[in-house]
Amino acid sequence: MNKLTEEEILSKLQKLSGWNYTGKSIQKEFKLENFISAVNFINKIAEVAERIDHHPDINLHSYNKVTITLTTHSKGGVTENDFKLAESIEPLFFK
44-83 pLDDT per residue, tens: 999 999 999 999 999 999 999 999 999 999 999 999 999 9
Which residue type occupies 73? H
Strands 57-61 and 26-31, sheet pairing? unpaired
pLDDT given for residue 95 in this prediction: 58
Give the whole-number percent of the chain exceeding pLDDT 70. 99
Mean pLDDT, residues 28-42: 98
Tell me the whole-structure pTM to 2 decimals.
0.94
Q: What residue ranges define each of the domains in the chain, with the CATH number in brackets?
A: 6-93 (3.30.1360.20)
- List alpha helices for the chain, DSSP H: 6-13, 35-52, 80-93
pLDDT given for residue 94 in this prediction: 74
* C-alpha span between 65 and 7 (Å, rounded): 29
